[in-house]
A and B are shown apart, each in its own frame.
Chain A
C-alpha cells in the first residue's frame, strides 16, 4: 500500500540493544529536550495586563454612529434588519419633530433600535447593508451577563456617546476598499 505521507516508519519488532535496555541514554536525551524548553520564551499572554491585538476586520459589538454635528445617522430604513441572517435586529421608526434637527440627521429616525446579542452572529451584513454609514461593528467584545434579557441591546447601549466617539476609520477604509 502506498503511504499517504513519506513520514511513515516501518514497525520492527527487534531486540533492544544494550544502551536501549538500560534506558539511561534515552532518559538523558529526554531531559536535554525538556531543559531546552526551560529557557525558551513562554507562549503565554498574561491576559488582563497584556491583550493580544485584534485583527483590523474583527467584528465585535455594534455601534450606531452620529454625524460630525452629533446627530444620529440612522434613518430606520430597515435594510440592516432585512440583511440580518439571524433576524437579530428590530426597530421602530418615527418622524422627526421640529426642533429635533440637532438630534437626528434626517426626517425619519429610529425610535427604538434593538439588537439581540444572543441571536447576532457578528457577520457584519448590517454594516454592509447600511446606506447611511450608520451601523458599524467595533473591536469591542460583547460582555457576558447573568440574565438573557440584558443581551437585548437598545439605543442606550448602541448609539455612540457624543463626547466619546467610537473610531471606526479602519472599518470604513475596509468598506470603501470593497466598493
Chain B
C-alpha cells in the first residue's frame, strides 16, 4: 500500500466520520433542545421513548419518514424538491474545513484532523453559508404560498444584513492572525491565547450574527409560527420538512464549532503543553473542542428559550445601524493597534 492510498483511505474515513458525527449530533440536538426547553420551563420534556426519552429523535425520524410526502399542486415541483436539498447540502459542507483536532500520527503518517485545509477557509464558510439561504429562498418561493414567500423574503434579507456584520467581525480576526486558513487561526491560539480576550466586541457581534444566520430565536423571523405558520417550510411535509429542520440543527452545530474555533481556541486548552504524548494531547484537544461546541449549543438554546422574537424593523435596526458600525469600529481599532505595535 503506497502512501497516497493510505492518505485517501484516511481522508475518506474522516469524511464519513465527520458526516456521521454531524448527523448524529444534529439528531440529538433536537432531543437536547426539547429537554433544555422543558427544564427551563420547569417541565420534564420527552421521557417516554427509551430511558429518559433518548430514543425520541429516532421515533421522530421514523414518523417523518412515514408521513405523506405532499407537493402542492401549483408549486414549482423541481424547485420545491431542490430547496431542502440545498439547505441540507450546504449545512453539511461547512463541516469539512473545521479543524477538529491537532495533528495526529497514524500508520507512520501525520494527518491533520481536518478534512480540507483550504487557505481561504473563512471565505469558504461565508460563501457556503450564503448559498445556504438559497435553499430557504427557493423552497419558500417554490411553495406558491404567501406565508412561505414572506418567510423566504425575511430569511434572505436577514441573512444578507447579518452576513455583513459577521464578515466584518471576522476581518478583525483575520487581521490579527494574518491568515484566512482556519487551521492557522486555531493553531495561533495555542494554550490560553484565545482570540476572545483580544476581540470581545468582535465575539459578541459574531455571536449575535450567528444566531441570526442560523434563524434561531430571537431572530427566527423566517419561520415564526405565530405570524407565518412556519414561514418558508409551511407547505413542506415528510422528510423534506425533516431536511429543513435538520439542516437548521446542523447549521447550529457548525456555527458553534466555528465560534469555538475562531474565538475560543478550537482544540486548544490551558496547560496543554504539560501533556507530552502528542496523540493524547490531540485527543484531549478534540474532546475539549466538543465541550466548547456543546457549551455554545447550550447557550444558543438557553437564549432561544429566554428572549422573545425581535420585531422585523428592530432586527434591521440592530443589524444595519448597530452591529455594522460597531464591527467597523472594531476593525478600525484592531487595525490601529496592530499598526502601532509593529
Do A and B truly interact? yes
Instruction: Name A's B-contacting residues (CB within 8 A).
Output: 22, 24, 27, 30-31, 33-35, 37-38, 40-44, 46
1/0 per residue, CB under 8 A from A, across B294-320: the answer is 000000001101110000000000000
Given known A27-B307, A30-B307, contact A35–B43 (CB-CB < 8 A): no
Judge whether B302 and A34 touch: CB under 8 Å.
Answer: yes
Q: Are B44 and A46 in contact, with the CB atoms below 8 A? A: yes
Measured between beta carbons, the chain A residues less than 8 angstroms from B307 are 27, 30
Contact B47 A34 (CB under 8 A): no
B218: nearest chain-A partner, CB-CB = A27
Assess whether A42 is in contact with B305, with CB atoms less than 8 Å apart: no
A38 to B204, CA, bound (A): 24
Measured CA separation A34–B37 after assembly (Å) = 10
Contact for A30 among B44, B306, B322, CB less than 8 A: B306
Q: By the criterion CB–CB under 8 Å, are A43 and B42 in contact?
A: yes
What 0/1 readout, one digit per residue, does chain B (40-55) give for beta carbons within 8 Å of chain A?
Answer: 1111100100000000
Q: How far is the CA of A22 from the CA of B322 in the complex (A)?
A: 9
Interface membership of B39, Cβ < 8 A? yes
Residues on the B chain within 8 Å of A34, using CB: 40, 302, 305-306
In angstroms, how far is the closest chain B Cβ from the Cβ of A158?
34
Known pairs A27-B307, A30-B307, A46-B47; A35 contacts B42 (CB<8 A):
no
Residue pair A44, B44 in contact (C-beta under 8 Å)? yes
Taking the nearest CB of chain B, how far is it from the CB of A14, in angstroms?
A: 18
Contact partner of B42 (CB less than 8 A), chosen from A22, A24, A31, A40, is A40
28 contacts between A and B (CB under 8 A): A22-B322, A24-B204, A27-B303, A27-B306, A30-B306, A30-B307, A31-B303, A31-B306, A34-B40, A34-B302, A34-B305, A34-B306, A35-B302, A37-B39, A37-B40, A37-B41, A37-B42, A38-B40, A40-B42, A41-B42, A42-B39, A42-B42, A42-B43, A43-B42, A44-B42, A44-B43, A44-B44, A46-B47
Other than A31-B302, A31-B303, A34-B40, give 4 A-B pairs with Cβ distance below 8 A. Answer: A30-B306, A34-B302, A37-B40, A42-B42
B176 to chain A, nearest CB (A): 23
Q: Chain A residues near B303: list those with CB within 8 A.
A: 27, 31
Residues of B within 8 A of A (CB): 38-44, 47, 204, 302-303, 305-307, 322
A40 CA / B43 CA spacing, docked (Å): 9
Residues of A within 8 A of B41 (CB): 37
A16 to chain B, nearest CB (A): 12
Q: Give the CA-CA distance A30 to B305 in the complex, in Å.
A: 10
| B contact residues around A46 at 8 Å (CB) | 44, 47
Nearest neighbor of A26 in chain B, beta-carbon distance: B307
Q: Are B47 and A38 in contact (CB-based, < 8 A)?
A: no
- A37 smallest CB distance to B (angstroms): 6
Q: A31: nearest residue on chain B (CB-CB)?
A: B306
Whether A38 contacts B306 in the complex (CB less than 8 A), given A44-B44, A46-B44, comes out as: no
Taking CB as reference atom, which chain A residue is nearest B47?
A46
User: What is the distance, in angstroms, from B288's C-beta to the closest C-beta of chain A?
Assistant: 23
Cα-based distance from A151 to B44 in the complex (angstroms): 35
Complex contacts, B40 vs chain A, CB 8 Å: 34-35, 37-38
Q: How far is the CA of A34 from the CA of B145 in the complex (A)?
A: 36
Distance between Cα atoms of A30 and B44 in the complex (Å): 21
Q: Which of B47, B303, B306 has the most CB of A within 10 A?
A: B306
